[in-house]
Amino acid sequence: MQLPCLISARQIAAVILAGTLTTSGWAQQQSQSAVPAKPEAPQPQQFRLKDYSKPRSHFPNPLGPYLPRNVSPPNLANTPRIEQLMQNGKLMLSMDDAIALAMENNLDIAIARYNLNIADTDILLANAGQATRGVNTGVVQGTPGGGVGGIGGTSTSGSQGGGAGGTTTGAGGAGTGSSGLVTSTLGVGSSIPSFDPILTGTLQVDHANSPTASAFAGVPVIQQNTGTANFFYQQGFHWGTNLTVGLNNDRITTNQPFTTLSPTLNSNFRFTLTQPLLQGFGLLPTTRFIRIAKNNREISDVAFRLQVITTVNQVENIYWDLVNAYENVKVQQESLALAQKTLADNKKQVQIGTLAPIEVVRAQSVVATDQQTLIVAQTNLQLQQLLIKNALSRTLVDPVLAVAEVIPTSAMQIPANESVVPTEELINDALSHRAELAESRIDLTNRDLNNKSAKNALLPSLGLFAYYGGTGLGGSFNPNARVCNPPAVTTFCTEPSAVPPSKSVGNTLGQMFDSTAPDKGVGLSLTIPLRNRAAQANQVRAELEYRQSQMRLQQLENQVRIEVRNAQFAVQQNRASVAAGQAAVELARQSLDAEQKKYALGASTTTLVLQAQRDLAQAESNLVSATSTYEKSRVELDRTTGLTLDHNGILVADAERGQVTKMPAVPYVAPRQEVQPGVNPNQQPGQPPQTQQPQTQTPQPMQQPSAEPPQQQAPPPEPQMSQPQTQDQPKQ
């Protein structure tokens, strides 16, 4: 009797234990799920280029061609590359990183990227037999800095086009006004049939009551019911052939006794082919818009390549402006530190009576002037940082990026020996690589097509047409009709033997194709405009525009030749300026050292020492400016020869996707060497700098060339944006 009790107790204990384990396991799962998941690394954003030249098919969705295509809204967020370059709230930026960020985030490139898909829609439109709308082929220059928008160089107002997306409309990048080539005759010619089949149908039911006073009507009110089912098919072909097929069907019932059939079935069809023999004959006049649209798509590719080149050149110039401003701040900091030390020394000597008090006033004036120069240099650096952040991002709303300081980690590298390339070789490179010339040549091809089409439009319109049709009649004998029954009914009646048999709809439709009542023929249609002035005007204007385009192409080639020579001269001149600047810095440094030694021995004056300090600061500033100008001249030489993308290792496909898969490799750029500025690196803006020894060593913006590409190194300390002080410093 105790065994059942023992078994039940064990079962109860097992159930309690299982419940406890289940509860604890559930709690453990809850605690694990409560731990926040590790955030995934941000994925690079990519602009997906779709081929809008291909239409939607009826398969597998029959309603596909009639549904709208949705274009994704623009992504205005910056790519994750910016976050990867942020260190301690500062954007550590190299030249290669700057170009990569521009290809992913620059709004000029993002705007021009849409032109590729817009050109695809023109191909789709032309394949349907419609006139094209043209493409945007200009360069978007809405990013300030680097000489654009009057910031950082010569103003280029008017460079931004007024077309859609801020671009210039017109084939080949030519303007559409009095100062450029007009394109009003591009695409003139004979009419083009619709290459898309068109199916038209009409279904109608009608009930009509018509009172009549005629004795021959048989009834005072004629009642008629009509059902209509008509269909029409039309399609054009590339040879100018036009095909039309019409099918008409009626079913009529009436109460008139004099109508033999009620209901009456009427069916007829006509198949017609029309072929132009003069105007509009051949593939060229009919497919001219298709050819022009495909050529414009090539122009869009070339124009986008030109946009990438222009943006890369602008970003390089902005970057060198930033490096120039960065180096200039350090130069002005060193100059101010020297002036402050001289002021402190003068105060010491005035106190012991070995120097006139006016020398202290003179040193204070120099310190105030250097303070003003430093403030100008610091604000200019802040402006250049803002410009490059705007050029490399889609939005500045990000609070981290908005306040981040940009530290350039690449330095200017002057080659030991300047490579001498023959001018003719540079010109040949430019003539084969310049995007503007490629656009003009493709545009010339379009105008040649347009010229031939305009000549064809001068001919009269002569069309050969042939048709075949048939008619069918069916129905049932009218129950209201009068049947002859002598002697009662002998007039206006139908003999019993003449009563037609009933014919169904199938029999009626069959009569159209069994030659029961055929309708066929062939003919010519001729239209001759007697004066033909409109066609003459279009043909002459098209010919004039073609010749004008030839002259424009020659003008561009001449302009390219001059630009290449000018860029080559600029490189030589600026290289000489760098050498002269280096010699001037060395002279100013030795002169200052000599004046300081003579001043220590009592053989010089404070005025001469201050003058030597100013000469050194000016020489260092001139050297930094000369080096920056030299680097910009090399950028301009690459632009004029059309080799910017090749020399920098840039893939146009990466710019089209907005995702860099291959990092650019800009030549003549090296990692920056650490150069300590003349103030405390940890100093906050608004705080007085600590007393330091002045540094007379000039910044080294120029690096020797290396056999291998430079590797990323630790960034230099950033020059501090602070107000200098005038406190005394002990003389060393």
Return the higher-pLDDT residue of 492 and 229: 229
235 pLDDT band, cuts 50/70/90, is very high
Q: Taking each helix axis from N to C terminus, what angle separates 288-352 and 606-641, rounded to the nearest 10 degrees?
A: 170
- Residue 154 CA neighbour count, 13 Å, CB half: 3
- The domain defined by 46-57+74-194+287-460+531-680+693-732 folds into Outer membrane efflux proteins (OEP) (1.20.1600)
Q: What pLDDT is recorded for position 490?
A: 64
Highest mean pLDDT of the ranges 1-10, 20-29, 425-434: 425-434
In the chain, domain spans: 46-57+74-194+287-460+531-680+693-732, 198-236+241-279+461-527
Q: What pLDDT is recorded for position 697?
A: 37
493-519 per-position pLDDT tens digit: 777 777 888 888 888 888 888 888 999
Q: What is the identity of the amino acid at 318?
A: I
7 pLDDT band, cuts 50/70/90, is very low
Order of strands, sheet of 86-87, starting from the edge strand that comes earlier in the sequence: 86-87, 90-93, 405-408
Q: For residue 709, is pLDDT > 50?
A: no
Cβ partners under 8 Å of residue 72, min gap 6: 48
44-61 per-position pLDDT tens digit: 456 677 899 999 999 999
Euclidean distance between CA atoms 16 and 13, whole angstroms: 5
Residue percentage of the chain with pLDDT more than 90: 61
Q: Where are the alpha helices (DSSP H) in 50-94?
A: 81-85
Q: For residue 160, is pLDDT > 70?
A: no
CA distances from 544 to 175, 176, 181, 441, 478 (A): 17, 16, 11, 16, 72
Radius of gyration for the alpha carbons in the chain, expressed in angstroms and rounded: 43
Mean pLDDT score, 528-545: 95
68-83 per-position pLDDT tens digit: 999 999 999 999 999 9
What DSSP string describes 372-428?
A: HHHHHHHHHHHHHHHHHHHHT-S-S--HHHHHPEEEE-EEEE--SS-----HHHHHH
- Residue 61 CA neighbour count, 13 Å, CB half: 7
292-305 per-position pLDDT tens digit: 999 999 999 999 99
Q: For residue 267, is pLDDT > 90?
A: yes
Q: For residue 310, is pLDDT > 50?
A: yes
Residue holding tokens 């049939």? Answer: 193
336 pLDDT band, cuts 50/70/90, is very high
Sign of CA dihedral 360, 362, 364, 370: negative
How do 242-254 and 461-477 pair as beta strands? Answer: unpaired
The full 3-state SS of 438-487, as one line of letters, equals: HHHHHHHHHHHHHHHHHHHCCCCEEEEEEEEEEEEEEEEECCCCCECECC
79-112 per-position pLDDT tens digit: 999 999 999 999 999 999 999 999 999 999 999 9
Arithmetic mean of pLDDT over the chain: 82
The neighbouring-strand residues paired with 522 are 466
Q: For residue 698, is pLDDT > 90?
A: no
Cβ partners under 8 Å of residue 442, min gap 6: 172, 295, 298, 299, 302
480 pLDDT band, cuts 50/70/90, is confident
Q: What is the identity of the amino acid at 133?
A: R
Q: What pLDDT is recorded for position 355?
A: 86
Phi, psi of 299 (to 5 degrees): -60, -40
What DSSP string describes 308-339?
A: HHHHHHHHHHHHHHHHHHHHHHHHHHHHHHHH
N residues, the chain = 732
Sign of CA dihedral 512, 515, 517, 522: positive
Q: What is the identity of the amino acid at 231?
A: F
Sign of CA dihedral 340, 345, 346, 348: positive
Question: How many Å separate Cα 659 from the centre of its chain?
Answer: 14
Q: What pLDDT is recorded for position 299?
A: 96
583-635 per-position pLDDT tens digit: 999 999 999 999 999 988 888 888 888 889 889 989 998 999 999 999 999 99
Q: What pLDDT is recorded for position 723?
A: 42
Torsion region of 238: left, alpha or beta (phi above 0 gives left; psi -120 to 50 gives alpha): alpha
Euclidean distance between CA atoms 12 and 585, whole angstroms: 96
Q: For residue 528, is pLDDT > 80?
A: yes
Mean pLDDT score, 334-356: 89
Residue percentage of the chain with pLDDT more than 70: 80
Return the higher-pLDDT residue of 704 and 113: 113
Q: What pLDDT is recorded for position 340?
A: 93
The first and second tokens of residue 285, run together, are 């006049």
Sign of CA dihedral 297, 303, 307, 308: positive
